[in-house]
């Protein structure tokens, strides 16, 4: 959903996907470069709103020596500040993370079609900031959350979104691969998410809230494993106004237990 008055530009990211029933090609995510009071809905979060650059508090069982790779550059037009993890024992995880970071940066480096309409004396530079946090890590499963903040010169504020990568035994997994065939797991997650966000009383626009939590793959593309179940990361503007930032809803395992594949349960939670 794009709120009224937003200016849009597109970033196209590639990331690993192994699902047989999903379109895993280039996916375009709209960024709304707002020069007014509000501005964006999608996929590149939060370095300026969220915390957490490197790593989780618990030991990283998948890592040989987990380290933060830092990229900092600045020129007359843009400022880049990127951190991402490397050092996982499984090289597939390291490679998938590098590919994602490269794709985000390459997309951001593409010329902004709206820039030519800005007066030359508009101050500031374009900026891209990426931070990360390892949200889950056991012997078989890993979840990494990336906070991305993309700013275009002349905008009122950066476009903040989140991206997640999840792995089981080194293989990238999407949400649909966690469940048995012909289940209503996504609808259960949508119903739970709607009620959880509604209880926060941060959005009285019923249509907006329904649309943002609707049971679609797009709405639930950003998720990560947790000890209690599966956490959904909603971008700013997806379920509430920008001022409220991103929203996270943890779906208790009990809500989706019957739909989960037994091998996924064993790999992630051990029972």
Mean pLDDT by 10 residues, the chain (271 residues): 39 40 34 37 34 41 81 93 96 97 92 70 89 96 97 86 97 98 96 98 96 98 98 96 94 98 97 82
Element (H, E) at 197: helix 185-199
- Note the pLDDT of residue 116: 63
Q: Cα(141)–Cα(146) distance, rounded to whole angstroms? A: 17
Return the structure tokens found at 172: 């990238």
Q: pTM, whole model, 2 decimals? A: 0.76
Q: Is 181 exposed, middle or buried (0-12, 13-18, 19+ CB in 10 A)?
A: exposed
Architecture category of domain 8-268 in CATH: 2-Layer Sandwich (3.30)
DSSP string for residues in 77-104? SEEEEEEEEEEESSHHHHHHHHHHHHHH
List the beta bridge partners of residue 84.
69
- Domain ranges in the chain are 8-268
Buried b or exposed e, range 232-270, using 16+ CB within 10 angstroms: bbbbbbbbbebeebbbbbbbebebbeebbeeebeebbbe
- Note the pLDDT of residue 53: 37
């Amino acid at each position: 959903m794009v709120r009224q008055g937003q200016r849009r530009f597109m970033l196209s990211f590639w990331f690993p996907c192994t699902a047989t029933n999903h379109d895993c090609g280039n996916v375009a995510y709209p960024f709304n470069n707002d020069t007014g009071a509000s501005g964006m809905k999608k996929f590149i979060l939060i370095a300026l709103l969220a915390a957490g650059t490197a790593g989780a508090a618990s030991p990283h069982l998948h890592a040989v020596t987990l380290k933060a790779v830092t990229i900092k550059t600045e020129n007359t037009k843009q400022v880049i500040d990127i951190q991402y993890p490397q050092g996982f024992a499984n090289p597939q995880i390291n490679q998938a993370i590098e590919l994602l970071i490269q794709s985000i940066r390459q997309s951001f480096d593409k010329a902004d079609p709206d820039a030519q309409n800005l007066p030359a004396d508009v101050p500031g530079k374009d900026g891209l900031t990426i931070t990360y946090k390892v949200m889950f890590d056991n012997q078989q499963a890993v979840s990494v959350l990336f906070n991305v903040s993309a700013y275009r010169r002349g905008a009122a504020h950066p476009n903040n979104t989140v991206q997640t990568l999840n792995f089981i035994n080194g293989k990238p997994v999407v949400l649909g691969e966690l469940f048995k065939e012909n289940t209503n797991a996504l609808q259960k997650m949508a119903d739970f998410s709607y009620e959880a966000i509604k209880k926060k009383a941060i959005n009285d626009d019923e249509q907006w809230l329904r649309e943002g939590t609707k049971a679609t793959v797009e709405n639930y593309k950003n998720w990560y494993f947790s000890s209690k179940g599966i956490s959904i990361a909603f971008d700013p503007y997806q379920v509430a106004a920008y001022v409220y930032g991103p929203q996270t809803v943890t779906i208790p395992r009990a809500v989706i237990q019957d739909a989960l594949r037994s091998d996924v349960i064993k790999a992630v939670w051990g029972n």
